[in-house]
Structure formats: structure tokens, C-alpha cells
Amino acid sequence: MYRFSYWILSAKITIFASFLQAMRIKKTAFLLCCILPALSTLSQNRVDFGFRGGISTSQVYTDLSDYTSDKITGYQGGAFLRIFFTKHILFEPEAYFTKKGGELFRNDNGDENQIHFEISSIDVPLLVGIKFFDLELTRLLVYTGPVMSFAHEKTVQFIENGKEDFQKSAEHLLESTNWGYQVGGSLDIFIFTLDLRYEWGLNDIYEGDCQFRENAFLIGLGIRIF
């Protein structure tokens, strides 16, 4: 009786193991059926890769009515990747080192009362674009999408009545991660690309009672490696 029960248990275990193995094979086959066509499609699509650098003019806007915003000049430099899913639709992830910020002056006495922001960050735009025309050596692309900014150097200065308020000028009050939204376009001529875009800040860059948001206009010149 004991041997018969043991044989039944062994048979059940063997059948269950065979079932798991069959399911594993089916699951692997299903994943391969899903992944391989996607990889095949991606390999057939055109992919561009290159480097781009340029300058930016940025401002910090506030809800303080007695302050006026002024631009500062910064820079950008990094790489971009374009994946053409169709002849006209593309996805463009990018990564840049950037420097942006802005200055604010109080209207009654700008020299004595001012606020200065300066942020160096790694920006990661994730853009979706449309190619409008593609001639032999020239093409035009328009795109839009979100951008994530990860700050690695931050400076803020509050000058009130000619003296710096170190409590408000604390670096930790500036956000380390910021979100924005970009709209722009690129004109490609041969292997070179001229890029123009505008960026709106979506969150406050400073922790406090007042609102401070950063907008920027960016101009870049790049080269496509392939």
C-alpha cells in the first residue's frame, strides 16, 4: 500500500514537472514571437545618432509682482538618438549637460534687491517628432515632448537691501529634479543639424512660499555620425 501511494505521488510530481516545463517552453516561444518581430522592425527602421552643442537664454519667472525677470546665457552639449518608426514619425531621446537660470530685480531698487539662480544639470528630453520633407541633402523635423533635469550644481542668491540673505540662499532649497516641456525643430543639411527649441518649466525650482519657474530658449548645432 505504501509503495503504491509512493508510486502515485511520484507520477503526479513527474506530470506536474512536465506541465511546468511545457508551460515554460510555451512562454519562451510566446515571448520570442513578440520580441523578434519588434527587433526585426526596429532594425529595418532608420536610426540617426549624433552630437549637439549650443547656447541657451533662460529666465526665471515669479509671482512676485514687484520683481522683473532678466535673462542669463548658458550652454548645452550632449548626444541625440533618432529612431524612425515610420517614414515620417520618429522618437528622439537625448542627453545633455546644460547650464540655465535667471535673474530677478525688484522694480523700486534693482541694485539693492535681486535674486540670482544658476543651475547646471543633466537634461534628458524624450521627444516625438514628425519629418515634413526629406530631400536629397535637406530635411525638416518638428518635435515635442517632456524633459527631465537632474541638477548637479545649484546656486541661488537673495540680495535684500544690499546684503545677502543666507537663510534664503541655501542650496538645498533648490530642487534637484525638475520637469519641463519642449517644442522645437531641426533643419538637417547633409550631416549637420541646426536645432531651435523652447522649454517651459512645469514645476517650481525653489522650495518656498513664492513661485519660481524656469523657461529657456535653446539653439544648437550638431553633427550626425550615422
**What distance in Å separates the CA atoms of residue 76 and residue 114, rounded to the nearest whole number?**
26
Rg (CA), the chain: 27
As a whole number of Å, the end-to-end CA separation of the chain is 74
String of DSSP letters for 12-28: HHHHHHHHHHHHHHHHH
The pTM of the full predicted model, rounded to 2 decimals, is 0.77
**CATH 2.40.160.20 correct for 46-224:** yes
Q: How much is the pLDDT for 178? A: 97
Asked if 138 contacts 187 with a C-beta cutoff of 8 angstroms, the reply is yes
Domain residue extents for the chain: 1-44, 46-224
Residue with C-alpha cell 525677470? 69
Q: Per residue of the chain (226 residues), give pLDDT as tens.
A: 444 444 444 544 454 445 444 444 444 445 445 544 544 455 456 899 999 999 999 999 999 888 999 999 999 999 999 999 998 999 999 999 999 999 999 877 666 889 999 999 999 999 999 998 888 789 999 999 999 999 999 999 999 888 999 999 999 999 999 999 999 999 999 999 999 999 999 999 999 888 999 999 999 999 999 8
CB atoms within 10 A of CB 188: 22
